[in-house]
Chain A
Amino acid sequence: MPKIKITISNAFITQPLEEANDEISVYRLVIWLKSTREAIVGYLNNPQELGSSDEKEISRGNNYKYDNSPDDKNKLQSIEGFKNYLKSNNISEENHNLIISILLQNRLALPDDIANQVNTFLIELGGGCGIESSPLKVSIESRKTTLLFDKKGAITIHSHIPIDAYDSTTEALTPVGHAEIEITVSKDQQIKFKDIEIELEDDGHLPVFKMMRGNLNGLQEKSTYIVNFVRNNPWKTAALLGSVILGGLGAILTFTGILSPAGLVLSAIGYTGMHLSLTGTALLATNLAVPSIGGAIVGFFANGVTKLIKKINPTEHYSIKPTSSHSKDGVFRMDSQQVESSSSSLESNKPAPSLGRDNRNKKLGDQLEEENQALKNSKLPSRDEIVQSGLADNSTPDQENPLQENIRHHTNTPQQRPKKK
C-alpha cells in the first residue's frame, strides 16, 4: 500500500501563561491546530497541584511511572530522584518543576488530547470536502515516549503515536499509520513543538489526500494563471484570441492572393466583366466580413470556454497550494498559511475572507453572542415527546409502530434526513 506522509508546520503554539503565586506555578499550554482552528487548553501544574492519588504515589517515593518506556521507568523512580537526575544532566533547578509538569501532563493527558485533536483534524478534513468514504475514525494512543537531554540543558520528549482506523460498525481497529510528536523544553523554559509528522497507509480511506496530490499538482501549479485570467477576463480573452486569429487571416489573405476568399470573389467578379471599382468594393466588403465573422465565432467559443472553466473552478474547491517540495520527495507539506486557508475554504468552499483585526473581533464576538442565544433557546425533545414518539427505551417501539425500522433506515440516510433549520 502506498504511504502518505503529512507534515504540519507550526501546528502548535504554546505559551506559559501565568504564574498563580510564588509556590505554585501554573502554565497554560495551548495546542492550536490551525487546520481546524481549534485550540486545546491544557494546564501544566507542578506536583503540588496533583490529585490525591498522585500525591500518594509521590509521597511513597517510588514506582511513580512517568511514561511507558521501560528505560525511563527505571530512571524516574520519584520526583526527588528525577530532580537529581535532571541536576546530573545540567538542567537548571528553576526548570525542574516545569519539566516535571510537562512529563506528568504528558502521562496524564497530553497524548489523549493530541490524539483527539489529530482525530478531529482527519475527520474534518475528509468530511469538509464531502468525500468521506466510510465511517472512519482514528484512534491514537501513545505507546512510546522517550526523553532526550542535550548538553545545553534542553529536554526533548518524543512520542510515537500509532494511528488506528476505527470502524464504528464492527468496532474494529486497524493500524493505518503513525504520528511523531516532539516537544522540546529549552533551558530558558521555551517550549517548542516540532512539526507533527503523520504517516498513513493509503488504503482508500483518505481520498482527499489523493485528490489534493493529483489535482493540485496538475491544475494549480501550471495553469492557475491562465485559468484565472480566462475566468476573470472573458471578453479580454475573446478579444485577444480574436485579434490573434484575425491577424492570421489577414496574413493569409495578404500572402496567398488569389487563394484568399477576397481573391476568389475578385476573380469571379472579373469574369462577369464588372467594373473594377465594384470589384474593389466587393474586396473591401469581403475583407471586412470574413475577419468579423471569424472574430465573432472565436469570441463565442472563448466565452464558452470561460463558462466551462468556471464550472471546473479548481481553485475554489481546494485552496491548499502545492509546494515545491510536494512532488519531489513524495512528502505532502502544508505550512501554517496553507493550512489556515485550507480550513476556511474546506468549511465554506470559498476563499477565506481577509478581514481586518477589528472586523474579525467584532464578527467573532457578535457571532458568538448570536449563536449563544440560539443555543440557549435550543432544546432537546422533552420526556413526553420522546415517550410519545416511541423512542424511549422502556417502550416497545416495534410493537407500537411497525414502521419504526423503516423510519430509522430513512433517517440514517443523509440525503433523506430532515433538513436542518
Chain B
Amino acid sequence: MAKEVNFFRKMDTAKIKEKENRILDAIQKIENFLYILEKNQKTYTNAVNYLWDLQNRINEINSKKTISPSMQEERKNLQKELALLRQKLKSSGSIIVEKIEELKKFCSDYPKAISQVSIPPMIELSLNRNPSLKK
C-alpha cells in the first residue's frame, strides 16, 4: 500500500514538474523573441544614424564650390555605400515592423503570458501600450 502511495506521489510530482517546465519554456521563448527584437532594433537605429552620417558627408562634398577628382571618387563611393545600406535598412525595417505587429497581437491575445516577462523600454515604446506614458 505504502509503495502504491509513493508511486502516485511520484506521478504527481512528475506532472507538476512537467507543467513547470512547460511554463518556463514558454516564458523563455517569449524572452528570446524580445531579446532578438530589441537587439535588432538597436542595430537598425545605429544603421540609420550611420546612413545620416553618409548623407551628411555627401551633402558636405556637394556644398563645396569646387570638387576635386578625389572628392568625386569619394562621393561616388559614399553614394554606393548609401544605396547599399538603404536597401538593407528597407528590408530590415519591414521585418521589424512585421515582428512588432506579431508581438502586439500576442500581447492582446495572451496578456497573462506577456505579463510574465519584462518588456525592454525600446520595445515598449514601439508597442505603444501604456496610455499613462503617453500624452
Contact = CB atoms under 8 A, between A and B. Distances in A.
Contacts of B85: 361, 364-365
Interface in B56-98: 56, 59, 81, 84-85, 88-89, 91-92, 95-96
Interface stretch (A82-90, A247-255, A263-271, A387-395): A387-395
Interface string A100-137: 00000000000110011001100110010000000001
Given A173-B132, A380-B30, A381-B30, A388 B22 contact: yes
A24 interface: no
Contact of A391 (B32, B42, B116, B121): B116
Contacts of B92: 368-369, 372
Nearest to B41: A38
B37 A378 contact: yes
Interface stretch (A184-192, A307-315, A401-409): A401-409
A120 B122 contact: yes
Given A403-B20, A418-B31, A171 B132 contact: yes
Contact of A385 (B29, B31, B32, B96): B29
A190 to B, nearest CB: 13
Contacts, number: 169
A400 interface: yes
Contacts of A372: 40, 91-92, 95
A386 B133 contact: no
A37 interface: yes
Given A41-B48, A112-B134, A166-B133, A392 B20 contact: no
Contacts of A127: 121
Contacts of B125: 116, 119-120
B102 interface: yes
Nearest to A417: B31
A58 B96 CA distance: 36
B23 to A, nearest CB: 5
Interface residues of B, number: 61
A421 B44 CA distance: 21
B133 A119 contact: yes
A401 B21 CA distance: 12
Contacts of B56: 13, 15
A139 interface: yes
B63 to A, nearest CB: 12
Nearest to B112: A393
Contacts of B49: 32, 37-39
A376 B95 contact: yes
A385 B89 CA distance: 33
Nearest to B132: A171
Interface in A26-65: 30, 32, 36-39, 41
B16 A364 contact: no
Interface of B: 16, 19-20, 22-33, 35-37, 39-40, 42-50, 52, 54-56, 59, 81, 84-85, 88-89, 91-92, 95-96, 99, 102-103, 106, 110-113, 116-118, 121-122, 125, 132-135
15 contacts: A15-B55, A37-B49, A111-B135, A120-B121, A360-B50, A365-B84, A375-B36, A375-B96, A381-B26, A381-B29, A389-B22, A389-B23, A391-B27, A393-B110, A411-B116
Given A364-B50, A378-B32, 4 more contacts: A127-B121, A401-B19, A403-B16, A418-B24
Interface of A: 13, 15, 30, 32, 36-39, 41, 111-112, 115-116, 119-120, 123-124, 127, 137, 139, 141-142, 166, 171, 173, 357, 360-361, 364-365, 367-369, 371-372, 374-376, 378-381, 385-386, 388-393, 397, 400-404, 407-408, 411-412, 417-418, 420-421
